[in-house]
Amino acid sequence: MERHQPIIVVTGANSGIGFGICQRLLLQLSQTLPPDAHPQYHLSPEVEPLKVQEDDPIYPVKALTLVMACRSRKKAEVARTELLHLLDREVEKQKRKRNYDGHAETFRENLRLDIRYLDLSKVASIFKFGDEIMQNYPYVSHLICNAGVVDLIGLDWPQAVKEVLTNPVQAVTAPSFYKQSVGQMSDDGLGWVWQCNVFGHYVLYRTLLKSFHSVPEQLGPARIIWTSSLEAHRTSLDLDDYQLLKTDHSYEASKYQIELLATHLSRQTANDGKIRHFVGHPGVVHTNVFAAALTWFTDALKIMAFYLVRIAGSRNHPVIPLKGAVSAVHLCLVSLSVVPLYLARFTSSTSSRNQSGSVHPHSNGNGASPSCIDPPVKFGSETDRWGRPEVGLQEIKGWSENEENVAILAERCERLYRGFMEAEGRTWSEA
């Protein structure tokens, strides 16, 4: 293993956005200076461009360990083979360039692409995964909390027709007509959607805490990327139903909890210099998450609608996972030295806000402690109408009114985590 190489863990890596993240990481890091690491500013003409010293010492990345954390080993093996074929084609493509420097072949030779079993609906599986990580890898430099579930039971067709007719862009961006089951429990006796999307990733973060603290100084602080969604509902955090057993929109509520919890953790760890928390989302991407509620025909119509609204001007529709992965990958690769300028521009400027409420200080946006500013922000994958991917910033809504309640939520997550640790005879360390 090369010294000071990134060791990146991606949950749900065998399909959808997780697979797109793995694809994009390999394509980017096979280049001497990955484009997704560039801080490229998109400011209004009257604003002087921000000058950033690109002083990140890790590029070019000559080696990478990418851990695919998946529930299905069979699907993960297929995905791994596809990723290696993708990288091999990229290496051959780069070798044909006149100024090729040999980096892509070096990166391919030093790539370690591992599969590890992880089922976020079972805390015992998370603990076992953590044991394997700490036994086999000296540290974890990046954790991308991507895996997620939704418990669909169908479509509310009258509501779907109404939304399509009255607000078609909203209908294919953050629809409210997907019907979800209520009260689904996990084998651990917790809300199933809540455990898979929120608590499971919290347990994973706590379990790997020592691995984050062991990251070499040359790589900088560990980066934890929490995946939200454009469908995250801005609601008051209901502590009487924090496991989301009573709501019929548990998926959207879980994504909003992720935004709040990650913001809380970001502020909690802001001064330790060891960990940075980010909130990102992939925009609107076609994956199999909602496939259970659709036929092949309605699925095809949905994809067509995605492209139509993008051509019409929506920036929220990357459509394909490789482009939807740009925010997460950029958060992994960009130098943290640009963040203070980036966030300062966000908090001081409103002139560059677009219709979605996002800001475009530079392509492939990022931040060191973006959730520590007021209001806290999340990073979203976007494209122009021709499909060129960028990253925008969006405010995390409702932070001030939910700040006290999310602290209570974090305490409950911590108590549950410690309870599961004690039940297995394990010792836990302070967060």
Q: Give pLDDT tens digits for 148-157.
A: 999 988 888 8
128-137, 176-185, 305-314, range with greatest mean pLDDT:
128-137
26-30, 301-305, 383-387, range with greatest mean pLDDT:
26-30
pLDDT at res. 363: 35
Q: Are 64 and 8 in contact (CB under 8 A)?
A: yes
pLDDT at res. 51: 44
Domains of the chain in start order, with CATH, are: 7-423 (3.40.50.720)
Q: Which two tokens stand for residue 135?
A: 């036994």
Torsion of CA 189, 200, 278, 134, to 10 degrees: 150
3-state secondary structure of 110: coil
Q: Measuring CA to CA, which residue among 89, 77, 141 is closest to residue 114? A: 77
* Interatomic CA distance for residues 212 and 269, integer angstroms: 12
Q: Which two tokens stand for residue 99?
A: 């100024």
Q: Are 326 and 318 in contact (CB under 8 A)?
A: yes
The answer, yes or no, to whether the previous bond of 60 is cis (omega within 30 of 0) is: yes
Lowest-confidence region among 22-36, 85-99, 179-193, 361-375? 361-375
pLDDT at res. 1: 60
pLDDT at res. 357: 47
Q: Are 26 and 83 in contact (CB under 8 A)?
A: yes
pLDDT at res. 372: 61
Indicate whether 47 pLDDT > 60: no
pLDDT at res. 341: 58
Q: Which two tokens stand for residue 64?
A: 């990478």
What's the Cα-to-Cα distance from 28 to each of 39, 83, 104, 113, rounded to whole Å? 15, 13, 10, 15
* Interatomic CA distance for residues 225 and 429, integer angstroms: 22
Torsion of CA 402, 408, 414, 419, to 10 degrees: -140
pLDDT in tens, 314-323: 999 999 999 9
pLDDT at res. 79: 98
Q: Which two tokens stand for residue 28?
A: 């980017």
Residue 193 pLDDT class (50, 70, 90 cuts): very high
Q: Which amino acid is at 158?
A: P
Q: Are 63 and 107 in contact (CB under 8 A)?
A: yes
Locate the DSSP E strands across 71-213: 111-117, 142-145, 152-155, 178-180
Q: Which amino acid is at 226?
A: W
* Interatomic CA distance for residues 11 and 117, integer angstroms: 10
Q: Which two tokens stand for residue 176?
A: 């409210």
Q: Measuring CA to CA, which residue among 335, 319, 363 is closest to residue 20? A: 319
Q: Measuring CA to CA, which residue among 114, 117, 135 is closest to residue 126? A: 117
300 contact partners, CB below 8 Å, separation of at least 6: none
Q: What is the average pLDDT score of the chain?
A: 87
Q: Bridge-partner residues for 117, per DSSP?
A: 70
**Which helix (H) or strand (E) is 171 found in, with range?**
helix 168-171
pLDDT in tens, 49-86: 444 444 556 789 999 999 999 999 999 999 999 999 99
253 contact partners, CB below 8 Å, separation of at least 6: 233, 235, 244, 247
